[in-house]
Amino acid sequence: MTLTGMMLIGAESHRGRNGEIHAIDPSTGAALEPAFGGGGAAEVDRACQLAWDAFDRFRETAPEDRAVFLEAVARNILDLGDALIVRAMAESGLPRARLEGERGRTVGQLRLFAAVVREGSWIGARIDPALPERAPLPRPDLRQRRIPLGPVAVFGASNFPLAFSVAGGDTASAFAAGCPVVVKAHSAHPGTSELVGRAVQAAVAECGLPEGVFSLIFGAGSSVGTALVADPRIKAVGFTGSRRGGMALMEVAAKRPEPIPVYAEMSSINPVFLLPAALAARAEALGRGFVASLTMGAGQFCTNPGILLAVDGPDLDRFVTAAVEALGGSAAPTMLTPGIHAAFDAGVAALAGNARVATLARGLDGEGPNRCRAALFATTADAFLDDPALREEVFGAASLLIRCPDLDSLRAVAERLDGQLTATLQMDAADTGAAAVLLPTLERKAGRILANGWPTGVEVCHAMVHGGPFPATSDGRTTSVGTAAIERFLRPVCYQDIPADLLPEPLRDGNPLGLWRRVDGALGRH
Ligand SMILES: NC(=O)C1=CN([C@@H]2O[C@H](COP(=O)(O)OP(=O)(O)OC[C@H]3O[C@@H](n4cnc5c(N)ncnc54)[C@H](O)[C@@H]3O)[C@@H](O)[C@H]2O)C=CC1
Ligand SMILES: O=C(O)CCC(=O)C(=O)O
């Protein structure tokens, strides 16, 4: 498929006239063809109107039809073949194996949501039949189901050009819920976005859905994103990116005459607790495992292990020796964009220049622009507690070890952490007591707590939580990965004494869709 540089507004291709966006190959710094025309208020207005016009029909599609649509998107993405991978490699600097894996995850995610839609428990059907004889007052007939919120604005993330972008988790879960989607493409990978966007657009047509189910808009700067979130026909937002960007969009959403939810996944430093018995038993292996997790993908994961906490002593020194050796030999991969590289270098320079922070190791330097030289720093618990700057995310392969005098101090540091996507315990059986003391704190701080693994690598499944209290996300009640992500785009409606022939199918007597329903309190397929 030849790239056109055009936006996709419903069924049409449309060239934007608000400036030009060129992808940059971060490994060379060269601009890639074609130029993508930026959108503006007119394109946002048209896409939102089409999405609104599509909403009532799309939301009432039968579960089977919506599932078939999600599967068609997955199939069309695969049908793009190697051209998609080649373009994504050029635009992101990410290696082939990583992008092929990410494509598998993206397609798997769409198919998983198709299965969720068919299974139907997301509808949340509840029926409390009327009790006309109840004294002192009769109970009316009450039936509840969940309906989609309305058109959703999705912001593609730079660091996952497939799995968190045009047809990524936000889009898949919004479609599954029955929401039309207007995507604001990330300017770092416009070609990848157009290719995937065309795969979605074709699936909409193949499935006979209204064209407004999907649109894709380009735009440099903040105006397209702001206009999209401000548009009254948009009813929710999915975002993965910087804290500054997420907060700006939350503000736009909150200031609307009708405020809307923004599900923004923003910044996390993902503490790893190296507990004493685990350190004593396997300090060297932990050091190497940590560096592998830290440096994977140039550390460009929001789940990257950005701080380590441990009680100071000889076992921690063994860990440091192993980590320093591994990190000192780590190659310098290309980062996603010149901006992300510059932000990484600035964050590393700030840590290196902090008088209370020691530089333990730097990775190898590399040829060419935008290389990520990994970095490991150390500080004390007191310094960490005193200096809020040490709690900020440095996006990329940089981490800070906090040497604590004892377990009480380690817990005090944990108490002062901001909200996190993950918290990791490296522990042996003899650490169970220390872990039990930390656990309530970690539950309050993080969306996912792991033992004896590393936080990078998020399984797409039913039990996953990829979320957490602010600032990890704007709404810690939800997840952006896994099937529970559908919950973000639904709200309950109760039908009281509504005549049977007006009731939506999921709530009709006889359970025509064969759903799991809670009838008079009892859950069953009735
Ligand atoms: N926590 C995470 O998962 C991630 C964090 N980042 C952080 O974000 C930094 C910049 O990377 P980007 O991926 O470009 O993220 P970004 O937050 O700058 O941009 C993401 C998207 O939001 C839009 N946007 C940003 N600010 C906006 C505003 N004020 N109004 C309207 N739209 C706005 C952008 O146009 C883009 O489409 C990185 O250096 C890193 O620190 C980046 C990727 C993932
Ligand atoms: O590691 C993953 O699979 C997800 C990470 C993520 O959401 C991110 O880096 O933005």
Cα dihedral 54→55→56→58 (10° resolution): 80
Q: In the structure, what pLDDT confidence band is assigned to residue 10 with cuts at 50, 70 and 90?
A: very high
- CA 266 / ligand 2 centre spacing (Å): 11
Q: Tell me the CA distances in angstroms from 408 to 414, 433, 449, one per residue in order.
A: 10, 13, 20
**Ligand 2 and 374: CB distance under 6 A:** no
Task: Please report, as a single letter, which amino acid is at residue 332.
Answer: A
Q: Is 461 a catalytic residue?
A: no
Could you give the percent of the chain with pLDDT greater than 70? Answer: 100
Residue 207 among the catalytic residues = no
Beta strands 522-524 and 12-14 are unpaired
Is the CB–ligand 1 distance for residue 345 below 6 Å?
A: no
Instruction: Tell whether ligand 2 has an atom less than 6 A from the beta carbon of residue 157.
Output: yes
pLDDT tens column, 190-229:
999 999 999 999 999 999 999 999 999 999 999 999 999 9
Sequence-distant (6+) residues with CB within 8 A of 376 are: 291, 294, 323, 324, 327, 359, 360, 361, 362, 398, 399, 400, 401
pLDDT tens-digit map of 440-495: 999 999 999 999 999 999 999 999 999 999 999 999 999 999 999 999 999 999 99
Distance in angstroms (rounded) separating the CA atoms of residues 310 and 404? 6
> Could you give the maximum distance between any two Cα atoms of the chain, in Å?
82
Ligand 2 atom nearest residue 480's Cα: 7
C-alpha 194 – ligand 1 centre gap (Å): 19
Query: Residue 334: how many CA atoms within 13 Å on its side-chain side?
Result: 19
240 C-beta closer than 6 A to ligand 1: yes
CA of 241 to the centre of ligand 1 (A): 4
Ligand number with the minimum distance to the CA of 266: 1
ipTM (interface pTM): 0.95
pLDDT tens by residue, 473-483: 999 999 999 99
**Digit-coded pLDDT (tens) for 148-170:** 999 999 999 999 999 999 999 99
Sheet arrangement for strand 126-128: 490-496, 142-148, 126-128, 517-519, 522-524
3-state secondary structure of 512: coil
Q: Whose CA is nearest to atom 12 of ligand 1?
A: 241
pLDDT at residue 510 is higher than 90: yes
Is the pTM above the cut of 0.95? yes
Query: Please, which pLDDT band fits residue 1 given cuts at 50, 70 and 90?
Result: confident
Cβ neighbour number for residue 396 with a 10 Å cutoff = 28
Closest ligand 1 atom to Cα of 266: 1
For the segment 388-406, what is each residue's pLDDT rounded down to a tens digit? 999 999 999 999 999 999 9
pLDDT tops 90 at residue 62 = yes
Residue 220 near ligand 1, beta carbon < 6 Å: no
Q: Is the CB of 165 under 6 A from ligand 1?
A: no
Q: What is the DSSP string of 449-479?
A: EEESS-S-----SSS-----TTTTBS-TT--
The whole-number average pLDDT for the span 417-438 is 98
Q: pLDDT tens digits for 247-306?
A: 999 999 999 999 999 999 999 999 999 999 999 999 999 999 999 999 999 999 999 999
Ligand nearest to the CA of 219: 1
Q: What is the pLDDT of residues 87-118, one digit of tens each?
A: 999 999 999 999 999 999 999 999 999 999 99
Rounded-to-integer distance, Cα 65 and Cα 83, Å? 29
The answer to whether 114 and 49 have CB atoms below 8 angstroms apart is: no
Average pLDDT, the chain: 98
- Residue by residue, DSSP assigns 360-408 as EEE----SSSSB---EEEEEEHHHHHH-GGGGS---SSEEEEEEESSHH
Beta bridge partners of 240: 265
DSSP for 18-80, written as a single string: S-EE--EETTTTEEPSS-EE---HHHHHHHHHHHHHHHHHHHTS-HHHHHHHHHHHHHHHHHT
Count of CB atoms situated within 10 Å of the CB of 493: 12
pLDDT score of 462: 98
Set 71, 91, 265, 393: catalytic member: 265
The reply to whether ligand 1 has any atom less than 6 angstroms from the CB of 302 is yes
